[in-house]
Structure formats: C-alpha cells, structure tokens
C-alpha cells in the first residue's frame, strides 16, 4: 500500500507491507519510473535499494520523500514512481502517481486525485453515490436544525 497515492516533488509517501511478510526478514525496496500505469508486470529498471526489517506481526513500513535521490535522473514529467518490495520469495509492486505542477499523467482516472488510486477501483459509481448521500444528509441536518431553532425560540 502507498499512502497518499500521489504528489509532486518534495511530497512524502509511506510504503506499507500490510500482512504476510516473514517477521524479522529484510525487505529490499527499490524505485523505477513509468510513463504508463505499470501494474504488477513492470520489469524495471529499478534503482536505489533501501532496506527495512519486517516487524513481529508480519508488517513493515518505509517513508519516502520524492526528490532527486530516489531515481538517477530528474523527474521532469508526470508519470508513475514504481515501488518494488522484495523479501525471500515474495515480491510486491505498487506505484505512486507523480505529478508536475498539478498535472497528472495522461489517462489517469479523475477520481485518483481524490485518493482512490491510480488504476481506479472500479467503484467510481459507489464512491460518487456515497459522496452524494453524505452531502444530502448533511443538508437535511442543517435544514432540520434551522427549523428546530425557529419553533423552539420563545
């Protein structure tokens, strides 16, 4: 998991191995760059290996700052910073949406800017409905509060 899912130069994100990693093992984290959504099949190249130790509960976490040290070239265009975590026989690949001056990579679903991930979750309609229902409920509470004040006032 990568949280938050996008940002530009100077941004910070947390890489988290959520479950199933071998306690006390070393995880090697490396970074790549792709112009298109990389998916699990991204083969590289990868640079800048960092290491983190898996906790007793089988999880780990690693902070990253987006700067000129994570990749061996300047990040001048929007794209995807690909993160690869390897420990023993386990490999996990995820990506961070890299933006430049507020511009996202071409083809990025619009909900990604709200934090719903670079590939989209397939639940865009559910998310939109949830936001609409929340807004309607908030409006109803405000209206009810105003009506209560009007009739409760002496």
The per-residue pLDDT for range 124-150, each reduced to its tens digit, is: 455 555 565 565 656 655 655 665 566
Domain locations in the chain?
A: 2-109, 123-154
DSSP string, 98-136: E-BTTBPPTT--GGGGGTS-TT--S-HHHHHHHHHHHHH
CB 61, CB 52: distance < 8 Å: yes
Partner residues linked to 121 by β-bridges? none
Q: State yes or no: cis peptide before 45, omega within 30 of 0.
A: yes
Confidence (pTM): 0.68
* Cα angle 76-63-23, degrees, rounded to a multiple of 5: 135
CATH class of 2-109: mainly beta
pLDDT for res 120? 45
Alpha-carbon separation of residue 31 from 64, 80, 82, 95, 107 (angstroms): 10, 10, 6, 9, 22
Q: How far does CA 134 lie from the centroid of its chain?
A: 23
Cα-Cα-Cα-Cα torsion 47, 1, 27, 13, nearest 10 degrees, comes to: 60
Alpha-carbon separation of residue 124 from 46, 96, 110, 111, 131 (angstroms): 32, 19, 10, 7, 11
Q: Which mean pLDDT values do the consecutive 10-residue runs of the chain (154 residues) have? A: 90 92 95 87 89 95 91 91 92 92 77 47 51 60 59 57
Closest CA to 7 of 99, 70, 74, 71: 99
pLDDT for res 151? 59
pLDDT for res 127? 52
pLDDT for res 3? 87
């Amino acid at each position: 998991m990568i949280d938050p899912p996008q940002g530009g130069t100077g941004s910070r994100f947390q890489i988290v191995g959520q479950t199933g990693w071998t306690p006390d093992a070393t995880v090697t984290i490396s970074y790549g760059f792709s112009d298109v959504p990389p998916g699990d099949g991204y083969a590289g190249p990868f640079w800048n290996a960092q290491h983190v130790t898996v906790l007793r509960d089988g999880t780990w976490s690693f902070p990253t700052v987006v700067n000129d040290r994570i990749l061996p070239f300047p990040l001048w265009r929007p794209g995807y910073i690909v993160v690869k975590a390897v420990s023993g026989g386990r490999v996990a690949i995820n990506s961070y949406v890299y933006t430049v001056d507020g511009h996202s990579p071409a083809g990025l679903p619009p909900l990604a800017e709200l934090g719903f991930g670079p590939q989209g979750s397939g639940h865009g309609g559910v998310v939109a409905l949830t936001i609409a229902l929340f807004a309607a409920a908030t409006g109803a509470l405000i209206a009810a509060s105003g009506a209560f004040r009007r009739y409760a006032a002496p």
